[in-house]
């Protein structure tokens, strides 16, 4: 009985996957970052401050054909008043050579807690976003993204 | 020689006092990550835009710190509350210390 999940097929598929990943790594000098490196980057920025899930939304394509130019939109649940506003937004790619993507500083003068940009995504992974509020609280979210042709040059 | 090219900034139409104006800003720049190799295997030196600051009537309203994972020709969309008719000044700085600036006029109606 042959089904797709038979060991022979899985083995070949894994080999192909490894080959594809290898081809990408040839172009990328440092090894890809790991979620541990992401944790280090987050600790460098925020120390041991508590990070809560929620209040921030990350919009990325589920599948990106070109990892060199991936549209990303971040919106935060905030009234953007003098008393209650978003101070900064931070974007991370857990499996890029360097996890940090961009840090943006905002304030009540922005009026709308939304920022969009275009980023490089080396391989399929999770992108993370963290918002820092004016009261000092931290909020985060993560989205999975699949990349057909990796941004081998992030 | 600076590797900055043309800057491109667009504002949403008919900005009204007290309402957020959408700002789309892009600058031509290779944003060379430093992780790529040339065709004979030598690393291509890193050259990225590290900072964008936007001021509105002299007051800072947006600041970004960019890392190598930002795409070529860095592009941002953000908002600013229209307060008065004034200049929006954009200043990009790369890791060689080269600077590119661009000014657009924000005309606010009531």
Contact A111 B67 (CB under 8 A): no
Which has the higher per-residue pLDDT, A18 or A87?
A87
Residue of A18, A33, A49 lying closest to A128 (CA atoms): A33
Residue of B37, B69, B75 with shortest CB distance to A101: B69
Q: A2 pLDDT band (50/70/90 cuts)?
A: very low
How far is A26 from A35, CA to CA, in rounded Å? 21
The string of pLDDT tens digits covering residues B58-101 is 999 999 999 999 999 999 999 999 999 999 999 999 999 999 99
Decide if B80 contacts B57 (C-beta within 8 A).
no
The string of pLDDT tens digits covering residues A107-148 is 999 999 999 999 999 999 999 999 999 999 999 999 999 999
The proportion of chain A whose per-residue pLDDT surpasses 90, expressed as a percent, equals 72
Q: What is the pLDDT of residue A99?
A: 96
Q: B14 pLDDT band (50/70/90 cuts)?
A: very high
How far is A111 from A79, CA to CA, in rounded Å? 8
Which has the higher per-residue pLDDT, A45 or A35?
A45
The string of pLDDT tens digits covering residues A73-103 is 999 999 999 999 999 999 999 999 999 999 9
Contact B69 A29 (CB under 8 A): no
DSSP string covering chain A: ---TTSHHHHHHHHHHHHHHHHHHHHH-SSPPP-HHHHHHHHHHHHTT--EEE-SEEEE--SEEEETTSEEEEEEE-----SSS-EEEEEEEETTSSSSEEEEEE--GGG-S-EEEEEE---SSEEEEEEEEETTS-EEEEEEEEEEEE--S--
Please state, in angstroms and as integers, the Cα–Cα distance from residue A77 to each residue in A53, B36, B70, following that order: 12, 38, 24
Task: Name every chain B residue with its beta carbon within 8 A of the beta carbon of A115.
Answer: 76-78
Q: A28 pLDDT band (50/70/90 cuts)?
A: very low
Whole-angstrom Cα Rg for chain B: 16
- CA of A95: which chain B residue's CA is closest? B69
Residue position matching structure tokens 């290898």: A22
Task: Name every chain B residue with its beta carbon within 8 A of the beta carbon of A111.
Answer: 19-20, 79-81
Say whether B15 sits in a helix, a strand or coil: coil
pTM over 0.80: yes
The proportion of chain B whose per-residue pLDDT surpasses 90, expressed as a percent, equals 98
Residue of A106, A111, A79 lying closest to B80 (CA atoms): A111
């Amino acid at each position: 009985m042959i089904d797709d999940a038979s060991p022979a097929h899985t083995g070949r598929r894994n080999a192909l996957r490894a080959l594809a990943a290898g081809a990408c790594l040839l172009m990328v000098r440092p090894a890809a970052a790991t979620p541990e490196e992401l944790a280090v980057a987050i600790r460098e920025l925020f120390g041991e401050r508590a990070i809560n899930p929620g209040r921030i939304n990350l919009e990325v394509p589920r599948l990106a054909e070109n990892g060199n130019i991936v549209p990303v939109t971040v919106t935060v649940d905030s009234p953007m008043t003098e008393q209650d506003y978003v101070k900064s937004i931070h974007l991370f790619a857990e499996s890029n050579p360097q996890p940090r993507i961009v840090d943006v500083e905002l304030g009540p003068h922005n009026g709308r807690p939304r920022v969009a940009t275009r980023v490089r995504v080396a391989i399929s992974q999770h992108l993370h976003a963290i918002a820092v509020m004016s009261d000092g609280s931290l909020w985060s979210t993560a989205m999975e993204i699949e990349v057909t042709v990796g941004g081998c040059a992030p | 020689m600076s590797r900055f090219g043309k800057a491109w900034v667009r504002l949403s139409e008919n900005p009204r006092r007290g309402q957020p104006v959408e700002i789309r800003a892009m600058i031509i720049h290779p944003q060379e990550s430093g992780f790529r190799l040339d065709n004979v295997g030598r690393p291509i030196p890193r050259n990225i835009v590290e900072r964008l600051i936007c001021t509105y009537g002299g007051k800072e309203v947006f600041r970004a710190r960019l890392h190598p994972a930002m795409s070529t020709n860095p592009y941002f969309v953000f908002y600013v509350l229209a307060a008065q008719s004034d200049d929006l000044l954009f200043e990009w700085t790369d890791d060689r210390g080269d600077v590119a600036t661009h000014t657009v006029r924000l005309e606010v109606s009531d």
